[in-house]
Amino acid sequence: MKRLIFLAGVPALVPATPLFAQVANAQEEARQLGVEVFWLRRSQTSEDVSGRPLLRRAALLRAQSKIVPEDFPEAIRSNAGSSGMGLTLRVSLAADGRVSGCEPLTQSVQEGFRWREAELVPEVAELVCRLASTKLAFAAALDQEGAGVPSQLDIAVELSSQMRLVVPPPAPAGWGNADAAYEGTWPPVVRSSDISRLNELDLPRGRDLLESNPDRLEEAQVGLVFSTHADGAVGNCQVMQSSGSEEYDRASCEALRSRPQVPGLSHLPVILEWRGRRLRAQLPAATKTPDLAGGVTIGPTLIAGVKLPPNAIVAAELDISSQGELLNCRLSRPSYVDALDRATCALFGEDARFTIPRDAFGNPVDATLEVRVDWRELTISRLVRR
Protein backbone atom coordinates (compact mmCIF):
# COMPACT_ATOMS: atom_id res chain seq x y z
CA MET A 1 0.00 0.00 0.00
CA LYS A 2 1.25 3.46 -0.88
CA ARG A 3 -0.11 6.88 0.00
CA LEU A 4 0.27 10.30 -1.59
CA ILE A 5 1.96 13.10 0.34
CA PHE A 6 3.29 16.53 -0.64
CA LEU A 7 6.79 17.78 0.03
CA ALA A 8 7.44 21.44 -0.84
CA GLY A 9 4.47 21.35 -3.19
CA VAL A 10 5.69 18.23 -5.07
CA PRO A 11 3.66 15.03 -4.77
CA ALA A 12 5.64 11.93 -3.84
CA LEU A 13 4.80 8.29 -3.24
CA VAL A 14 6.12 6.84 0.04
CA PRO A 15 5.50 3.51 1.71
CA ALA A 16 2.75 3.44 4.35
CA THR A 17 3.95 3.31 7.95
CA PRO A 18 2.49 1.45 10.94
CA LEU A 19 1.09 4.80 12.15
CA PHE A 20 -2.46 3.93 11.12
CA ALA A 21 -2.28 0.62 12.94
CA GLN A 22 -0.96 2.41 16.04
CA VAL A 23 -3.83 4.90 15.94
CA ALA A 24 -6.35 2.10 15.50
CA ASN A 25 -4.87 0.22 18.46
CA ALA A 26 -4.94 3.36 20.60
CA GLN A 27 -8.58 3.95 19.72
CA GLU A 28 -9.40 0.33 20.55
CA GLU A 29 -7.65 0.67 23.91
CA ALA A 30 -9.59 3.87 24.59
CA ARG A 31 -12.80 1.91 24.09
CA GLN A 32 -11.90 -0.67 26.69
CA LEU A 33 -14.22 -0.75 29.66
CA GLY A 34 -13.20 0.64 33.00
CA VAL A 35 -14.84 1.01 36.40
CA GLU A 36 -14.57 4.18 38.48
CA VAL A 37 -15.88 4.61 42.02
CA PHE A 38 -16.39 8.07 43.50
CA TRP A 39 -17.22 9.28 46.97
CA LEU A 40 -19.92 11.98 46.79
CA ARG A 41 -18.76 14.04 49.76
CA ARG A 42 -21.21 16.91 49.38
CA SER A 43 -24.15 14.70 50.28
CA GLN A 44 -22.57 13.36 53.48
CA THR A 45 -23.47 14.45 56.99
CA SER A 46 -20.71 15.77 59.24
CA GLU A 47 -22.58 15.34 62.53
CA ASP A 48 -23.40 12.40 64.77
CA VAL A 49 -26.94 11.49 65.86
CA SER A 50 -26.76 13.97 68.75
CA GLY A 51 -25.88 16.85 66.41
CA ARG A 52 -22.22 17.15 67.46
CA PRO A 53 -19.61 17.48 64.70
CA LEU A 54 -17.83 14.25 63.89
CA LEU A 55 -14.11 14.06 64.59
CA ARG A 56 -13.79 12.21 61.27
CA ARG A 57 -16.38 11.54 58.61
CA ALA A 58 -16.71 8.10 57.05
CA ALA A 59 -14.76 7.72 53.82
CA LEU A 60 -14.22 5.48 50.82
CA LEU A 61 -10.65 4.12 50.85
CA ARG A 62 -10.00 4.12 47.11
CA ALA A 63 -6.50 2.67 47.33
CA GLN A 64 -7.92 -0.44 49.01
CA SER A 65 -11.01 -0.70 46.78
CA LYS A 66 -11.22 -2.34 43.38
CA ILE A 67 -14.17 -3.22 41.18
CA VAL A 68 -13.22 -4.45 37.69
CA PRO A 69 -15.34 -4.87 34.52
CA GLU A 70 -15.10 -8.66 34.86
CA ASP A 71 -17.23 -8.38 38.02
CA PHE A 72 -20.19 -7.57 35.75
CA PRO A 73 -22.04 -10.10 33.55
CA GLU A 74 -21.27 -10.11 29.83
CA ALA A 75 -24.68 -8.63 28.97
CA ILE A 76 -24.03 -5.55 31.13
CA ARG A 77 -20.47 -5.15 29.81
CA SER A 78 -21.64 -5.32 26.20
CA ASN A 79 -24.29 -2.69 26.76
CA ALA A 80 -21.89 -0.42 28.70
CA GLY A 81 -19.42 -0.58 25.81
CA SER A 82 -21.76 1.51 23.68
CA SER A 83 -23.59 3.36 26.44
CA GLY A 84 -21.94 3.82 29.84
CA MET A 85 -23.81 2.93 33.00
CA GLY A 86 -23.63 4.56 36.41
CA LEU A 87 -25.36 4.10 39.77
CA THR A 88 -25.38 6.18 42.91
CA LEU A 89 -25.68 4.27 46.17
CA ARG A 90 -26.19 5.18 49.80
CA VAL A 91 -23.95 2.89 51.82
CA SER A 92 -24.58 2.37 55.53
CA LEU A 93 -21.55 1.57 57.66
CA ALA A 94 -21.30 -0.02 61.08
CA ALA A 95 -19.09 1.46 63.80
CA ASP A 96 -16.15 -0.66 62.59
CA GLY A 97 -16.46 0.51 58.97
CA ARG A 98 -18.07 -2.65 57.60
CA VAL A 99 -21.00 -2.28 55.21
CA SER A 100 -24.30 -2.84 57.01
CA GLY A 101 -26.67 -1.75 54.26
CA CYS A 102 -26.88 -0.42 50.71
CA GLU A 103 -29.66 1.63 49.12
CA PRO A 104 -29.65 2.34 45.34
CA LEU A 105 -30.50 5.99 44.67
CA THR A 106 -30.31 6.62 40.93
CA GLN A 107 -29.22 4.89 37.73
CA SER A 108 -27.88 6.80 34.74
CA VAL A 109 -26.77 6.02 31.19
CA GLN A 110 -24.15 7.86 29.18
CA GLU A 111 -24.96 9.27 25.77
CA GLY A 112 -21.85 10.72 24.20
CA PHE A 113 -20.41 12.98 26.88
CA ARG A 114 -23.65 13.47 28.78
CA TRP A 115 -25.39 11.45 31.43
CA ARG A 116 -29.15 11.17 31.75
CA GLU A 117 -31.14 9.53 34.50
CA ALA A 118 -32.65 6.17 33.59
CA GLU A 119 -35.03 3.72 35.20
CA LEU A 120 -33.47 1.85 38.09
CA VAL A 121 -33.06 -1.84 37.18
CA PRO A 122 -33.41 -3.90 40.41
CA GLU A 123 -31.09 -6.71 39.26
CA VAL A 124 -28.32 -4.26 38.33
CA ALA A 125 -28.78 -2.28 41.55
CA GLU A 126 -28.59 -5.48 43.61
CA LEU A 127 -25.38 -6.52 41.83
CA VAL A 128 -23.68 -3.15 42.33
CA CYS A 129 -24.70 -3.08 46.00
CA ARG A 130 -23.21 -6.55 46.44
CA LEU A 131 -19.97 -5.43 44.79
CA ALA A 132 -19.86 -2.34 47.01
CA SER A 133 -20.23 -4.54 50.09
CA THR A 134 -17.52 -7.02 49.10
CA LYS A 135 -15.05 -5.12 46.91
CA LEU A 136 -14.87 -1.67 48.49
CA ALA A 137 -13.13 -0.60 51.70
CA PHE A 138 -14.37 2.15 53.99
CA ALA A 139 -13.14 4.04 57.04
CA ALA A 140 -15.64 4.38 59.86
CA ALA A 141 -16.78 7.74 61.17
CA LEU A 142 -15.37 8.76 64.56
CA ASP A 143 -17.16 10.87 67.17
CA GLN A 144 -15.50 13.55 69.31
CA GLU A 145 -14.31 10.90 71.76
CA GLY A 146 -12.62 8.99 68.93
CA ALA A 147 -15.07 6.07 69.02
CA GLY A 148 -16.42 4.56 65.81
CA VAL A 149 -20.07 5.36 65.09
CA PRO A 150 -22.55 4.12 62.47
CA SER A 151 -22.74 6.39 59.45
CA GLN A 152 -23.76 6.71 55.82
CA LEU A 153 -22.10 7.98 52.67
CA ASP A 154 -23.08 8.21 49.02
CA ILE A 155 -20.92 6.78 46.26
CA ALA A 156 -21.14 6.57 42.47
CA VAL A 157 -20.07 3.45 40.55
CA GLU A 158 -19.48 3.99 36.84
CA LEU A 159 -18.90 1.35 34.13
CA SER A 160 -17.93 3.08 30.91
CA SER A 161 -15.58 3.09 27.93
CA GLN A 162 -16.02 6.82 27.35
CA MET A 163 -14.37 9.83 28.93
CA ARG A 164 -15.05 9.73 32.66
CA LEU A 165 -17.90 11.93 33.83
CA VAL A 166 -19.08 11.66 37.41
CA VAL A 167 -22.70 10.61 37.85
CA PRO A 168 -24.23 13.63 39.61
CA PRO A 169 -25.98 13.04 42.94
CA PRO A 170 -29.45 14.47 43.51
CA ALA A 171 -29.29 18.21 44.23
CA PRO A 172 -29.69 18.95 47.95
CA ALA A 173 -32.91 20.57 49.08
CA GLY A 174 -32.84 24.35 49.08
CA TRP A 175 -29.94 24.52 46.61
CA GLY A 176 -29.81 28.05 45.17
CA ASN A 177 -32.76 29.26 47.26
CA ALA A 178 -32.41 33.02 47.73
CA ASP A 179 -34.93 32.91 50.59
CA ALA A 180 -32.94 30.36 52.59
CA ALA A 181 -31.66 31.60 55.95
CA TYR A 182 -27.92 31.96 56.51
CA GLU A 183 -26.74 29.52 59.18
CA GLY A 184 -23.03 30.34 59.33
CA THR A 185 -21.05 32.56 61.66
CA TRP A 186 -20.48 36.30 61.34
CA PRO A 187 -18.60 37.60 59.59
CA PRO A 188 -18.38 34.90 56.93
CA VAL A 189 -15.27 34.44 54.82
CA VAL A 190 -15.04 37.36 52.39
CA ARG A 191 -14.51 35.97 48.89
CA SER A 192 -12.60 37.83 46.19
CA SER A 193 -15.79 38.01 44.11
CA ASP A 194 -17.52 39.86 46.98
CA ILE A 195 -15.34 42.91 46.35
CA SER A 196 -16.71 43.49 42.85
CA ARG A 197 -20.25 42.67 43.98
CA LEU A 198 -20.05 45.32 46.68
CA ASN A 199 -19.25 47.97 44.06
CA GLU A 200 -22.35 46.94 42.11
CA LEU A 201 -24.79 47.49 44.97
CA ASP A 202 -27.49 50.07 44.29
CA LEU A 203 -28.29 51.89 47.52
CA PRO A 204 -30.87 54.65 48.00
CA ARG A 205 -30.20 57.85 49.88
CA GLY A 206 -30.40 57.25 53.60
CA ARG A 207 -32.63 60.26 54.08
CA ASP A 208 -35.28 58.55 51.93
CA LEU A 209 -35.63 55.84 54.58
CA LEU A 210 -35.23 57.72 57.85
CA GLU A 211 -37.16 60.62 59.28
CA SER A 212 -35.29 63.41 61.02
CA ASN A 213 -34.75 62.45 64.65
CA PRO A 214 -32.40 64.44 66.92
CA ASP A 215 -32.42 61.60 69.47
CA ARG A 216 -31.09 59.03 67.00
CA LEU A 217 -27.49 57.78 67.20
CA GLU A 218 -25.18 59.91 65.07
CA GLU A 219 -23.28 56.89 63.72
CA ALA A 220 -24.14 53.21 63.44
CA GLN A 221 -22.99 50.06 61.66
CA VAL A 222 -25.27 47.17 60.74
CA GLY A 223 -23.81 43.83 59.66
CA LEU A 224 -26.01 42.00 57.13
CA VAL A 225 -26.05 38.87 55.00
CA PHE A 226 -28.44 38.85 52.04
CA SER A 227 -29.26 36.87 48.89
CA THR A 228 -30.98 37.81 45.64
CA HIS A 229 -33.24 36.06 43.14
CA ALA A 230 -32.59 35.78 39.39
CA ASP A 231 -34.38 39.11 38.83
CA GLY A 232 -32.25 40.92 41.43
CA ALA A 233 -34.99 41.09 44.06
CA VAL A 234 -33.61 40.63 47.57
CA GLY A 235 -34.78 37.43 49.23
CA ASN A 236 -33.34 36.61 52.64
CA CYS A 237 -31.82 39.56 54.52
CA GLN A 238 -30.53 38.92 58.03
CA VAL A 239 -29.13 41.35 60.57
CA MET A 240 -26.06 39.53 61.87
CA GLN A 241 -24.59 42.42 63.85
CA SER A 242 -27.08 44.89 65.30
CA SER A 243 -26.33 48.59 65.51
CA GLY A 244 -28.15 48.76 68.82
CA SER A 245 -30.89 50.79 67.14
CA GLU A 246 -34.01 49.06 65.81
CA GLU A 247 -34.53 51.99 63.45
CA TYR A 248 -31.13 51.57 61.76
CA ASP A 249 -31.45 47.77 61.67
CA ARG A 250 -34.87 47.95 60.00
CA ALA A 251 -33.82 50.62 57.52
CA SER A 252 -30.75 48.63 56.43
CA CYS A 253 -32.68 45.70 54.95
CA GLU A 254 -35.23 48.18 53.56
CA ALA A 255 -32.39 49.96 51.77
CA LEU A 256 -31.30 46.77 50.03
CA ARG A 257 -34.87 45.77 49.14
CA SER A 258 -35.82 49.19 47.80
CA ARG A 259 -34.00 48.59 44.51
CA PRO A 260 -33.05 45.57 42.37
CA GLN A 261 -29.56 44.34 43.21
CA VAL A 262 -27.08 42.06 41.44
CA PRO A 263 -28.94 38.84 40.49
CA GLY A 264 -27.95 35.49 41.96
CA LEU A 265 -26.15 36.67 45.10
CA SER A 266 -25.82 34.01 47.79
CA HIS A 267 -25.32 35.21 51.37
CA LEU A 268 -23.26 38.28 50.50
CA PRO A 269 -21.83 39.81 53.70
CA VAL A 270 -21.99 43.58 53.92
CA ILE A 271 -21.77 46.30 56.56
CA LEU A 272 -24.07 49.27 56.05
CA GLU A 273 -22.58 52.30 57.73
CA TRP A 274 -24.91 55.11 58.78
CA ARG A 275 -23.82 58.64 59.58
CA GLY A 276 -26.99 60.38 60.49
CA ARG A 277 -29.08 59.80 57.38
CA ARG A 278 -26.13 59.19 55.06
CA LEU A 279 -25.58 55.59 54.02
CA ARG A 280 -22.66 53.67 52.54
CA ALA A 281 -21.66 50.01 52.23
CA GLN A 282 -18.42 48.18 52.96
CA LEU A 283 -17.25 44.61 53.37
CA PRO A 284 -16.65 43.20 56.85
CA ALA A 285 -13.10 43.32 58.07
CA ALA A 286 -11.40 39.98 58.42
CA THR A 287 -12.14 38.09 61.60
CA LYS A 288 -9.27 37.93 64.05
CA THR A 289 -8.95 34.17 64.03
CA PRO A 290 -7.83 32.20 67.08
CA ASP A 291 -4.34 30.82 67.50
CA LEU A 292 -2.54 28.39 69.79
CA ALA A 293 -1.39 30.07 72.98
CA GLY A 294 0.30 27.09 74.63
CA GLY A 295 -0.34 23.86 76.46
CA VAL A 296 0.22 21.57 73.45
CA THR A 297 3.18 19.20 73.31
CA ILE A 298 3.84 16.72 70.51
CA GLY A 299 6.24 13.80 70.90
CA PRO A 300 6.89 10.22 69.71
CA THR A 301 5.40 8.65 72.84
CA LEU A 302 1.94 9.81 71.72
CA ILE A 303 2.05 7.44 68.76
CA ALA A 304 4.23 4.64 70.13
CA GLY A 305 3.46 1.40 68.30
CA VAL A 306 1.51 3.13 65.51
CA LYS A 307 2.62 2.27 61.98
CA LEU A 308 2.84 5.61 60.21
CA PRO A 309 1.60 5.88 56.62
CA PRO A 310 4.00 7.33 54.01
CA ASN A 311 2.34 10.72 54.32
CA ALA A 312 1.69 11.06 58.04
CA ILE A 313 0.24 14.57 57.87
CA VAL A 314 -3.18 15.24 59.39
CA ALA A 315 -5.09 18.52 59.07
CA ALA A 316 -7.65 19.48 61.71
CA GLU A 317 -10.23 22.22 62.19
CA LEU A 318 -10.54 23.34 65.81
CA ASP A 319 -13.75 25.14 66.77
CA ILE A 320 -12.82 27.75 69.39
CA SER A 321 -15.43 29.49 71.54
CA SER A 322 -15.63 33.21 72.26
CA GLN A 323 -13.99 32.39 75.62
CA GLY A 324 -11.00 30.76 73.92
CA GLU A 325 -12.07 27.18 74.73
CA LEU A 326 -12.01 24.19 72.38
CA LEU A 327 -15.53 23.17 71.36
CA ASN A 328 -14.88 20.50 68.72
CA CYS A 329 -12.09 18.98 66.67
CA ARG A 330 -12.79 17.92 63.07
CA LEU A 331 -10.28 16.30 60.74
CA SER A 332 -10.36 18.01 57.35
CA ARG A 333 -7.56 15.77 56.09
CA PRO A 334 -7.50 12.49 58.03
CA SER A 335 -4.86 9.80 57.69
CA TYR A 336 -7.55 7.09 58.09
CA VAL A 337 -5.22 5.37 60.54
CA ASP A 338 -7.55 5.35 63.54
CA ALA A 339 -4.86 5.68 66.21
CA LEU A 340 -3.19 8.57 64.37
CA ASP A 341 -6.45 10.43 63.78
CA ARG A 342 -7.45 10.03 67.43
CA ALA A 343 -4.02 11.21 68.59
CA THR A 344 -4.28 14.35 66.45
CA CYS A 345 -7.38 15.65 68.19
CA ALA A 346 -6.13 14.39 71.57
CA LEU A 347 -3.20 16.84 71.23
CA PHE A 348 -5.59 19.71 71.89
CA GLY A 349 -6.94 18.51 75.21
CA GLU A 350 -7.72 20.25 78.49
CA ASP A 351 -4.27 21.87 78.76
CA ALA A 352 -4.43 23.53 75.33
CA ARG A 353 -4.86 27.31 75.38
CA PHE A 354 -6.10 29.50 72.55
CA THR A 355 -6.36 33.21 71.87
CA ILE A 356 -9.88 34.65 71.74
CA PRO A 357 -11.29 35.10 68.21
CA ARG A 358 -12.96 38.42 67.44
CA ASP A 359 -15.30 39.64 64.71
CA ALA A 360 -15.07 42.70 62.48
CA PHE A 361 -16.29 44.87 65.36
CA GLY A 362 -13.84 43.49 67.91
CA ASN A 363 -16.44 41.40 69.73
CA PRO A 364 -15.50 37.89 70.96
CA VAL A 365 -17.01 35.25 68.67
CA ASP A 366 -16.78 31.54 67.98
CA ALA A 367 -14.34 30.78 65.15
CA THR A 368 -12.24 28.00 63.65
CA LEU A 369 -8.49 27.43 63.77
CA GLU A 370 -7.00 25.16 61.11
CA VAL A 371 -3.82 23.29 61.99
CA ARG A 372 -1.51 20.82 60.26
CA VAL A 373 0.14 18.06 62.29
CA ASP A 374 3.14 16.27 60.77
CA TRP A 375 3.64 13.08 62.75
CA ARG A 376 6.95 12.23 61.08
CA GLU A 377 8.51 15.62 61.75
CA LEU A 378 6.55 16.02 65.02
CA THR A 379 5.49 19.57 64.18
CA ILE A 380 2.27 21.57 64.45
CA SER A 381 1.67 24.49 62.11
CA ARG A 382 -1.23 26.79 61.41
CA LEU A 383 -2.96 26.56 58.03
CA VAL A 384 -3.62 29.88 56.33
CA ARG A 385 -6.27 29.98 53.60
CA ARG A 386 -5.52 32.40 50.77
Q: What is the pLDDT of residues 43-54, one digit of tens each?
A: 677 888 888 899
Q: What is the pLDDT of residue 23?
A: 41
Q: What stretch of H or E contains 341? A: helix 338-346
Residue 1 lies in a domain: no
Look over the chain and give the mean of its residue pLDDT values, rounded to a whole number: 82
d(CA 280, CA 199): 11
Domain end call among 160, 177, 201: 160
Domain end call among 282, 303, 319: 282
d(CA 64, CA 97): 13
Q: What is the pLDDT of residue 352?
A: 93
On whether both 200 and 230 belong to a single domain, the answer is yes
3-state secondary structure of 143: coil
On whether both 149 and 39 belong to a single domain, the answer is yes
On whether both 196 and 225 belong to a single domain, the answer is yes
CATH of the domain at 277: 3.30.1150
Residue 183 lies in a domain: no
Q: What is the pLDDT of residue 361?
A: 63
Domain with 146, as residue range(s), is: 33-160
Convert the pLDDT of each residue in 174-228 to its tens digit: 345 788 888 776 666 666 667 677 778 888 888 888 887 877 788 889 999 999 9
Query: Against a cut of 0.75, is the pTM above it?
Result: no
On whether both 102 and 49 belong to a single domain, the answer is yes
Q: How many domains does the chain have?
A: 3
Q: What is the pLDDT of residue 350?
A: 87
Residue 2 lies in a domain: no
Domain end call among 282, 303, 318: 282
d(CA 61, CA 38): 10
On whether both 273 and 313 belong to a single domain, the answer is no
On whether both 216 and 271 belong to a single domain, the answer is yes
For residues 220 and 245, the answer to whether their CB atoms sit within 8 Å is yes
Residues in the chain predicted with pLDDT less than 70, given as ranges, are 1-31, 42-43, 81-82, 162-176, 185-193, 195, 285-287, 360-361, 384-386
On whether both 122 and 212 belong to a single domain, the answer is no
Q: What is the pLDDT of residue 382?
A: 86
**Alpha-carbon separation of residue 288 from 90, 111, 191, 328 (angstroms):** 40, 50, 16, 19
Residue 9 lies in a domain: no
On whether both 263 and 324 belong to a single domain, the answer is no
DSSP state of 285: P
Q: What is the pLDDT of residue 183?
A: 77
Query: Does the bond joining 187 to the residue before it have cis omega, within 30 degrees of 0?
Result: yes
On whether both 353 and 234 belong to a single domain, the answer is no
Residue 173 lies in a domain: no
On whether both 357 and 322 belong to a single domain, the answer is yes
Residue 276 lies in a domain: yes
Residue 245 lies in a domain: yes
On whether both 205 and 311 belong to a single domain, the answer is no
On whether both 275 and 327 belong to a single domain, the answer is no
Residue 23 lies in a domain: no
Q: What stretch of H or E contains 254? A: helix 246-257
